[in-house]
Amino acid sequence: MTTTQNGDIVSLHQARKIYQMGNQQVRALDGVSVSFSRGSFWAIMGPSGSGKSTMMNIIGCLDRLTDGHYALEGQDVGTLDDDDLSERRLRHIGFIFQSFNLIPQLTVQRNIELPLYYLGWEAEESAARALELARRVGLEERLNHRPTELSGGQMQRVAIARALANDPHLLLADEPTGNLDSATGVQIMQLLEELYDEGKTIIMVTHEPDIAAHARCRLHMKDGRVDRIEES
Amino acid sequence: MKQSRFFRNIALGIENLLLHKLRSFLTMLGVVFGVGSVVAMLSVGEGASKEAMEQIRKLGSNNIILTSVKPVEEEGTSTTRAVMSIYGLTYNDFARLGESYPAVRSLAPVKLLRKESRLGSRAMELRIVGTTYAWFDLVPREIVAGRVLRAEDEERFNPVAVLTEYGARRLLATQSTIGQKIRIGGDTFEVVGIIKSESGQAGNMQIPDQDVDVYIPLRVARRYFGDVYTQYSAGSRIRERVELHQIIAQIDDIEHVEATAQAIERMLERFHRKNDYEISVPLALLRQAEATKRTFNIVLGSIAGISLLVGGIGIMNIMLASVTERTREIGIRRAIGAKRKQIIIQFLIETIVLSTIGGLVGIALGVLTPVLITFFSGMPTVVTPLSILLPMIISIAVGIVFGLYPAANAARVDPIIALRHE
Ligand SMILES: Nc1ncnc2c1ncn2[C@@H]1O[C@H](COP(=O)(O)OP(=O)(O)OP(=O)(O)O)[C@@H](O)[C@H]1O
Ligand SMILES: [Mg+2]
């Protein structure tokens, strides 16, 4: 399934992810067919356990489908091996997590530089890039701090800077405001909207309708299936 | 590019280890003491065996040394007054050695005497060796002044004397003594040379230098002093007749040494009724010393191996704990795009850096210890390049071997599970 021509950055076809728990099957994804076009801003919603995170892991190349197809930037990812999946994550995807997932021992600068390290950038270039990104999220003063010295909102901004370091087309955010108060959450959403305006594709999981309202399209999941889609 | 990346990986590894200074230090200790003790033990062992081998080598590995030994039963009877004990190597033995063994290249006889002597106003009992010029070929010594014995001294019965440094010191002889007369027993000799003495004990195989004051031609010694030696001790008179106290035979080829020694032994057995001689073969001793050293090295190697194994297990233990503790970090790195291989390299480098630094510290410790040992106990120690290089290579290898399993564990971490785990 090559779908380069239609410009979809993510395209799932009859996607199934089944977990075998003893003799019980958990159908985390149960035949999902959906496409997200380049430069769109999606919110994925749905009750707990409906398969939102599972879908994000698949899209993020952290996991593989049990059945069905997934094409990232027009290329089928289902047949790739572990190294190739790592390569996709490294070059095409930026992750933003609910719990920030910064490495506590490393400074803000080192955290932002992490993808660049694996991309093989030289030290000076990546330091310059880290400074540029820290400025972008308003944290250039904090480059030498450790994540534990930052507030939740600041940590999430560092995480966004890190997600942007490799200049990905696709940003995946699983409940990015889940651990933040609503005012800070709004700041983060403004940042994501700016990135959307710059042409990034953003897929975001959220429970909160206020947050989902920032997205341009909404996809509702239920029991591992697409329940309904709202496009505005 | 590739190289700068290599150093950056190492720098990052060190940075990470510095986050847990105490833990990294404690982890290292196993390797530090393992490597340190290996280096120290090797240098002590090397020092001891080197000294032994040097002594043996000084005797000449091509030589066979025959020494007269007073037989045990003779010692009993010698307490009876006026009994003369006759034993030892004979002039006939010497002649036979020269005639019937083509492998014998050169022979030096040794006859020991003690005589009251006088040089100028100084009088004392001198320890004298009667020998031939061949001695100075077989036991090369530097000439301080004058010359050593020559063939013509032997042929013409020249009454000449060559002093050793020891003898010269006792007699207060100097270079200006050359050409002067020295009285030995009742006879007058001309001092023709002074030779340098080797320090160090030669064991009981060869007359040690410090036990000799003067060399004179063998034939002169025989003619002037005869073969009977009388000693007065505790009121009793002990008379001994010994023709030669020692014969040193040089063999043409190292390959022939052992066979010739056996042949000589058979010959002596035939002509000597009593067991009044001893054969020493420095080569055999050298071989034996080498074998001993090999055994010693194997034992050391095993101890070293065990201590490094313990050190390695210590490192592995800590690294496994570290991997568990850093599961989330690994998950983050993997999610960002790190390949399994890169995670393995990260952890492997940390382990190798640990073991290598441990190794370096251990080597420093192991080099310092022998210096202190030598300083305080006077025991010789030798630090060879190999005794540094080998533990260094081993400690790096320990890092690799014991780092691989924890690193492989780290690479197996599933990023999804790792990121969920709080
Ligand atoms: N590794 C796994 N093994 C077994 N079952 C799993 C695993 N991961 C997820 N599941 C199951 O798959 C289903 C979907 O899980 P998922 O995490 O995608 O839900 P979610 O929509 O993100 O929920 P939430 O809103 O609580 O985050 C759940 O029933 C979950 O128990
Ligand atoms: Mg979820």
Work out the burial of residue A69: count CB atoms within 10 Å of its CB; fewer than 13 is exposed, 13-18 middle, 19 or more buried: middle
Token digits of residue B76: 């009993």
C-beta atoms surrounding A190 within 10 Å: 11
Q: Minimal Cα distance from B11: which residue of A?
A: A123
pLDDT at A48: 94
Comparison of pLDDT for B37 and B190, the residue scoring more: B190
Considering only CB atoms, which chain A residues are within 8 Å of B415?
62
* Domain assignment of residue B181, yes or no: yes
Q: With an 8 Å Cβ cutoff, are A60 and B335 in contact? A: yes
Q: What is the pLDDT of residue A82?
A: 94
The pLDDT assigned to A3 comes to: 41
Per-residue confidence (pLDDT) for residue B54, from 0 to 100: 77
* Pairwise pLDDT comparison (B421 vs B214), residue with the higher score: B214
Q: Which amino acids bring their CB within 6 angstroms of ligand 1?
A: A 19, 21, 26, 28, 46, 48-54
Q: What is the pLDDT of residue A4?
A: 44
pLDDT value at B116 more than 50: yes
Q: Which amino acid is at B337?
A: G
User: What is the rounded average pLDDT of the residues B94-123?
Assistant: 91
Does position B3 have pLDDT exceeding 80, yes or no?
no
Of A17-31, B140-154, B229-243, B280-294, the one with minimum mean pLDDT is B229-243
Structure confidence at residue B81 (pLDDT): 53
Q: Is B86 domain-assigned? A: no
Chain A residues in contact with B340 (beta carbon < 8 A): 82-83, 86
Q: Which two tokens stand for residue A140?
A: 């250039």
A81 at B interface, C-beta within 8 A: no
Instruction: Kindly give the distance from the C-alpha atom of residue B238 to the centroid of ligand 2, in angstroms, as a whole number.
Output: 110
Q: Which residue has the higher pLDDT, B131 or B274?
A: B131
Strands A41-45 and A217-222: parallel
Last residue of a domain, one of B178, B212, B245: B245
Instruction: Provide the β-strand partners of residue B182.
Output: B189
- Inter-chain residue contact B416 with A103, CB threshold 8 Å: no
Residue B300: the pLDDT is: 78
Identify from B15, B16, B334, B336 which residue to disrupt to test chain A contact, counting A C-beta atoms within 10 A and taking the largest count.
Answer: B336
Q: What is the pLDDT of residue B77?
A: 52
| B239 and B182 in a common domain | yes
Contact A169/A200 with Cβ under 8 angstroms? yes
Asked if residue B240 and residue B301 are part of one domain, the reply reads no
Do B153 and B238 share a domain, yes or no? Answer: yes
Interface check for A226 against chain B (CB to CB < 8 A): the answer is no
- Whole-prediction pTM value? 0.72
Asked whether residue B136 falls in the same domain as residue B29, the answer is no
Q: Ligand 1 pocket test: which of A12, A27, A32, A52 has the largest number of ligand atoms within 8 Å of its C-beta?
A: A52
**Residues B194, B297: one domain?**
no
Determine, yes or no, domain membership for B253: no
Whole-number pLDDT of residue A2 = 42
Specify the residue with its C-alpha closest to ligand 1, atom 16.
Answer: A51
In a shared domain, residues B177 and B119: yes
* HSE (side-chain half, CA atoms, 13 Å) at B205: 24
The amino acid that residue A213 corresponds to is A
Shared domain for B116 and B240, answered yes or no, is: yes
Interface check A127 vs B, CB under 8 A? no
The pocket of ion ligand 2, defined by CB under 5 A, consists of: A 53
- Same domain for B316 and B238: no
A103 vs B8: CB contact, 8 Å cut-off?
no
Same domain for B121 and B205: yes
B295 with B407, same domain?
A: yes
3-state secondary structure of B229: strand
What parts of chain A have a pLDDT lower than 50?
A: 1-5
Q: B18 at the A interface (CB within 8 A)?
A: no
Residues 6+ apart with CB under 8 A from A205: A43, A44, A45, A52, A53, A56, A173, A174, A175
- In angstroms, the CA B180 to CA B116 distance is 17
In a domain, B91, yes or no: no
At A122, give phi and psi (nearest 5°).
Answer: -75, 160
Asked whether the beta carbons of residue A87 and residue B336 sit closer than 8 angstroms, the reply is: no
Cβ count near B325 (within 10 Å): 10
Of B194, B214, B245, the residue that ends a domain is B245
What's the whole-number average pLDDT of chain B? 87
Within B134-214, residue ranges assigned H as helices are: 134-138, 151-155, 165-171
Read off the pLDDT of each residue in B60-65 and give the average, rounded to a whole number.
85
Work out the minimum CA distance from B23 to partner chain A, whole angstroms: 15
Rounded CA-CA distance B252/B259 in Å is 12
Residue A96: name the closest of A165, A156, A136 by CA.
A156
- pLDDT value, residue B174: 86
| Residue B340 domain-assigned (yes or no) | yes
pLDDT for the residue numbered B74 = 52
pLDDT (mean) for B301-315: 84
Number of domains composing chain B? 2
Closest Cα to atom 8 of ligand 1: A54
Instruction: Determine the straight-line distance between the first and last CA of chain B, rounded to whole angstroms.
Output: 37
Nearest CA in chain B to A86: B337
Is residue B76 situated within a structural domain? no
Residue B88 included in any domain: no
Q: What integer pLDDT is reported at residue B291 of this predicted model? A: 87
Residue B256 lies in a domain: no
Nearest Cβ partner of B340 from A82, A90, A115?
A82
Residues B118 and B240 in one domain: yes
Which domains are delineated in chain A? 40-62+81-231 (3.40.50.300)
Nearest CA to ligand 1 atom 4: A19
Domain that holds residue B169: 108-245
Average pLDDT over residues B69-87: 67
Contact B337 A120 (CB under 8 A): no
| pLDDT at residue A196, as a whole number | 96
Answer yes or no: is pLDDT of B62 > 90: no
Which strands make up the sheet holding A201-205, listed edge to edge?
A: A93-96, A170-174, A201-205, A41-45, A217-222, A225-231
List pLDDT tens digits, range B25-52: 988 898 898 888 888 888 888 887 887 7
Locate the chain A residue with the closest alpha carbon to B416: A62
Q: What local confidence, expressed as pLDDT, does residue B4 receive? A: 74
The pLDDT assigned to A52 comes to 96
pLDDT of B352 reads 92
B114 and B234 both lie in a single domain: yes
Q: How far is the CA of A97 from the centre of ligand 1 (A)?
A: 16
Q: Give me the residue label for tokens 């001294």.
A: B153
d(CA A63, ligand 2 centre) in Å: 14
Contact call for A99 and B422, based on CB within 8 A? yes
